[in-house]
Every structure is written in C-alpha cells, then in structure tokens.
C-alpha cells in the first residue's frame, strides 16, 4: 500500500503495509433509534474504550507485520484499509514466507480521540496519533488519523480508514457538548455532499473536469501522471475508476469549526497495461504474489484508494474540495 502526501515539502509515499498502509458507517449520523420511546444521541465510545481499541489494533498489526500473516490482524481492520492491509500481507507472505526480517514494531503515541455522538449503530471515532514511522524513515513529522468503526455491541473496534497527514493539515473540529459533530451523507451544508465525493472524484480523473477539486498531487498532478504513463513507448496503460460507498467503504465526515468538514471516502480503480507485440509487461514480486492467470501481453492490477479531503461550506465553487492525502494499494492482479 502506498501513501501519497499533499505538498512538495513531504516525501512520496512509502509502502504502508511494510509499515502499515467506513462501513464505516453508513454515515447515518442523522438517523436515530428508539430508547425507551425516545431517540437518544450517545457517544460512540468512552475515552477508555477508544484507548483500548487503539491498543488492540496496534498489537494485532505488529503481530501480523512481523509474521506477514494476514490472519493475525484480520479482525482489527476493515473497509479500504482492511482490504489494502490484507492484500499486502498476503503478498509478502508469499514472497517472504519466513516473516518480515525488517520488522520494527509500530508505536502510536500522543493519542487524541475525536469522538462523535450518534444514535444507534454503527458507531465510529477518529484516533489522531503520533507514530514512530516518520522517525524511522527520517521524514517530516506526521500524524496518523485512524478511523475506528464498530457495527454493534457484540463486535470489536476495527480500523477502516487511515490518513497520514502533516499536523498543519488537521483541521479544528466542531464540538457539541464536548463531542465531535458527524456530517450526514447528504451534507446539504457542504459544497459537495460526502455521498457524492467518490463519483465526483472518479468523474474528474476520467474527464479532467476539475469542478470542485483544488489542484494538487492527488488531482491535477495525478491525472497528468496517468496521461504520461499512457503514452510510454511499447506499453499502453488504461485506467478505469469506480466509486466505493457501500458497507464498510461508506464515507465518513466530521464537521469543522469553519463550517466545512473533513471527509474520508474510498474509490477502486483498475490499471490495465498492454505491451507491444513480442513483449510482456513487467510484474514486480509483490504484484506477482497476487496474480491470477498468465501474463502474456496484458496485466490488470486492481487498486483500492482512500482519500481524506477538506470540504468547504456550501456556496464555494472552485477549490471547494482539497485532497489532503491518499492511501492506495494493489489488492489483486490478473494476467492475460
């Protein structure tokens, strides 16, 4: 899984699943359940529960990363992060069956929990943490924002989204009685509703209609990179993007103090590479471990990509959506 950051002052993404790399909720933040005849908003978790969820995730992640065994953290990840994590571990289990010789335990410290109130299930919260990964890699200071979701009282907390951001990129969240405020999927008070972000992003990547998206490495620059890759001599590359918003891939948003929102959403895309007659596309060992079929002239890689964006309040037109970060990874490949 690769993490791609926003500005030139930050390095290109490292493979998270070597390090890491929402049903989250059907984002029914405006929904309610009946409690003794009344609808009641409840905190998604207590601070103690949130701390334990983060601790359980970190322990499971480290066991899985050390052994390159996806089964060891399968019950602690879900959604886009889970699919990327599990595919990456599966791949490395094949290429390095003895486990991870370079394993360094992930440490998540200085945790700040952003906990919304909502009625019913699923419930979710965000853990804003410092990690030892930027220290290990000698890069600029970053914060790991992990979105934890839980579908019911009988289920465990699972990490569905991860965004790795500069501390300056993390907005001030709106508060109500000491708790964060979730935004509804319709998000009428926003320039773009959370439920529409995936389709708008896919449309931009396909047609180049910038619309609400601000220019940057995850919008205009990424599209330019794709166009350049499509024209390489001897190798044609095509992309097909698809929005993902159902089940564990549902978008999640938290209101910010300026009237906007920080929203996490996911997409899936297919990258098809076709070589000139007499040649074969190159396939790296990590992708080869996930490959089905035989690569004769074509390989199609399936990617999952999760984005974290700042959405401005309704009324903003251009630059209304700023993509702060993107986390992506290959989850499958097919040769033909």
Whole domain around residue 82: which residue ranges? 2-335
pLDDT given at position 183: 95
Report how far residue 74's alpha carbon sits from residue 83's, in angstroms, rounded to the nearest whole number. 9
**Model confidence, pTM:** 0.87
Q: Which tens digits make up the pLDDT trace of 108-121?
A: 999 999 999 988 88
Does position 303 have pLDDT exceeding 80, yes or no? yes
pLDDT given at position 248: 87
pLDDT given at position 20: 38
Q: Is 226 helix (H, G, I), strand (E, B) or coil?
A: helix
Q: Please say whether the beta carbons of 124 and 46 come within 8 A.
A: no
Report how far residue 156's alpha carbon sits from residue 165's, in angstroms, rounded to the nearest whole number. 26
Lookup: tokens for 286:
């990590």
Among 121, 142, 76, residue whose Cα is nearest residue 308: 142
Q: Which tens digits make up the pLDDT trace of 87-103?
A: 999 999 999 999 999 99
Total domain count, the chain? 1
pLDDT given at position 316: 87
Whether the upstream peptide bond of residue 122 has omega within 30° of 0, thus cis, is: yes
- Do you know the residue count of the chain? 336
Mean pLDDT over residues 252-272, rounded?
97
More confident residue, 211 or 169: 169
- Partners of 299 in beta bridges: 273, 335
Report how far residue 167's alpha carbon sits from residue 143's, in angstroms, rounded to the nearest whole number. 6
Q: Which tens digits make up the pLDDT trace of 30-75?
A: 333 334 334 689 999 999 999 999 999 999 999 999 999 999 999 9
Which H helix or E strand runs over 90? helix 79-95
Question: What DSSP letter does each residue of 116-129 carry, written as one string?
Answer: BEESSS-EEEEEEE
């Amino acid at each position: 899984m690769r993490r791609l950051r926003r500005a030139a002052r930050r390095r290109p993404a490292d493979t998270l699943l070597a390090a890491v790399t929402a049903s989250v909720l059907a984002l029914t933040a405006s929904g309610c359940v009946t409690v003794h005849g009344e609808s009641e908003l409840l905190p998604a978790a207590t601070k103690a529960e949130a701390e334990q969820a983060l601790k359980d995730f970190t322990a499971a992640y480290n066991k899985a990363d050390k052994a390159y065994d996806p089964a060891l953290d399968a019950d602690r990840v879900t959604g886009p992060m889970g699919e990327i994590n599990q595919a990456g571990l599966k791949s490395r289990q094949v290429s390095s069956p003895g486990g991870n010789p370079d394993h360094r335990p992930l440490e998540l410290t200085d945790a700040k929990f952003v906990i919304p109130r909502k009625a019913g299930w699923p419930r979710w919260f965000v853990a804003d943490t410092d990690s030892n990964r930027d220290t290990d890699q000698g890069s600029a200071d970053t914060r790991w924002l992990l979105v934890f979701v839980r579908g019911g009282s009988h289920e465990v907390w699972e990490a569905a989204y991860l965004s790795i951001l500069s501390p300056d990129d993390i907005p001030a969240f709106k508060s109500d009685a000491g708790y964060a405020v979730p935004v509804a999927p319709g998000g009428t008070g926003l320039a773009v509703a959370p439920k529409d972000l995936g389709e708008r992003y896919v449309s931009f990547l396909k047609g180049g209609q910038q619309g609400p998206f601000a220019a940057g490495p995850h919008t205009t620059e990424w599209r330019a990179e794709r166009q350049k890759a499509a024209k390489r001599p001897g190798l044609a590359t095509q992309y097909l993007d698809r929005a993902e918003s159902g089940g564990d891939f549902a978008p999640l948003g938290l209101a910010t103090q300026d009237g906007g929102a920080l929203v996490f959403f996911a997409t899936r895309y297919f990258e098809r590479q076709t070589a000139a007659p007499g040649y074969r596309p190159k396939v790296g060992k990590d992708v080869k471990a996930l490959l089905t079929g035989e690569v004769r002239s074509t390989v199609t890689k399936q990617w999952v990509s999760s984005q974290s964006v700042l959405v401005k309040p309704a009324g903003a037109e251009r630059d209304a959506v700023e993509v702060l970060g993107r986390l992506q990874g290959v989850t499958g490949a097919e040769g033909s």
